[in-house]
Amino acid sequence: MTTTVSREESAPASPRARLARLAQRQGALVILAAVVLAATFSFDTFGTTGNLSNIALQASFLAVVALGMTFVIMSGGIDLSVGSVFALGGVLAAWGAGHGTWAAILLPLGVCGLIGLVQGLVIARGGLPAFIVTLAGLLFARGLLLLISDEGATTYKVPPDSAFRELAQGELLGIGYPVWFVLVAFALGGLVLHRTSYGATVLAVGGQEDAAELMGLPVARTKVIAYTVSGLLAGLGGLLMASYTSSGVTVLGVGMELEVISAVVLGGTLLTGGAGTVLGTLVGVLLLQVIKNVINQVGSLNSNWQAVISGTILLVVVTIQRWLATVQRR
């Protein structure tokens, strides 16, 4: 059995390099804790159980998609189609709900997973750039969405008596089902990344693809699996949103791919691939959602400030990541 390691673990690290690696991995968690603490003391309603539960629930839909994107970026790729695939999954789920709960679940997962599979095959086997292929996937998914919904004129509703509604509207121990789905999904993602050969291969491919090929690692298969899972999770996020809203809203997911990428990068995953953690991605998602909630708490700021603040934080994080990566290589 061949053992692989990521480029950040390939050589003994100096104390300075270990400190840089820790900052890279846990920096978002420190920022999140600081923002939550400041908001708790600044706004009376922020720290309430209801508000915190709402933050977790709203973050869960983005988190599902971000988990798939994490593995894609760690493998050295990018998936620009997730926003449109998310919306497509929601519309297919709402339409399928009229034909039964299983149709509402299996149809979006099947179609969205197939889109991810095709993209992965074209990228891995065809050698085409991920940016171009997934941009084409974005357009395809959005076009198929508009075709199904008569160019957005038709909004499919989940029947009032459908058990599919309970999937995202139900609760367990006072916590919404989507939050539990996210916890389970991220736990599995962490196990795959840190306890399986596939996780090590993802990091190796993202770190140095040529070296991974020379070592005989299944580079193409690794990429295909990453993009397929990304499509599946985007579809899962969409069907959960359809269950939560009881409808397939066609305008959802516009620009979502940028928010997903932001969350992954904020969580410490390098855009160049080869390093990252699923826990960091979850922290990045929560940070974006907390920022949005704080802006709502302020009241005098509109939603555009979220993009301004998130973009500023992202730019700072990417710059710091670049510097920390340089420190680790020394």
pLDDT in tens, 81-126: 999 999 999 999 999 888 888 999 999 999 999 999 999 999 998 8
pLDDT in tens, 90-100: 999 999 888 88
Cβ contact 225:120 at 8 Å = yes
Cβ contact 238:87 at 8 Å = yes
Q: Which residue has the higher pLDDT, 216 or 132?
A: 132
| Tokens of residue 253, six digits | 């997911």
- pLDDT attached to residue 45: 83
- pLDDT attached to residue 327: 59
Specify the DSSP element, H or E, that contains 292.
helix 278-298
Instruction: Return d(Cα 210, Cα 326) in angstroms, integer.
Output: 21
Specify the DSSP element, H or E, that contains 278.
helix 278-298
Specify the DSSP element, H or E, that contains 101.
helix 101-124
Q: What is the mean pLDDT of residues 179-184?
A: 93
Domain boundaries, the chain: 48-255
Residue 60: pLDDT over 60:
yes
Residue 298: pLDDT over 60:
yes
Q: What is the mean pLDDT of residues 138-160?
A: 85
Q: What is the pTM of this model?
A: 0.85
Residue 8: pLDDT over 60:
no
- pLDDT attached to residue 6: 45
- pLDDT attached to residue 223: 92
Residue 63: pLDDT over 90:
yes
Q: Which residue has the higher pLDDT, 106 or 47?
A: 106
Closest C-alpha to 201, from 115, 54, 75:
75
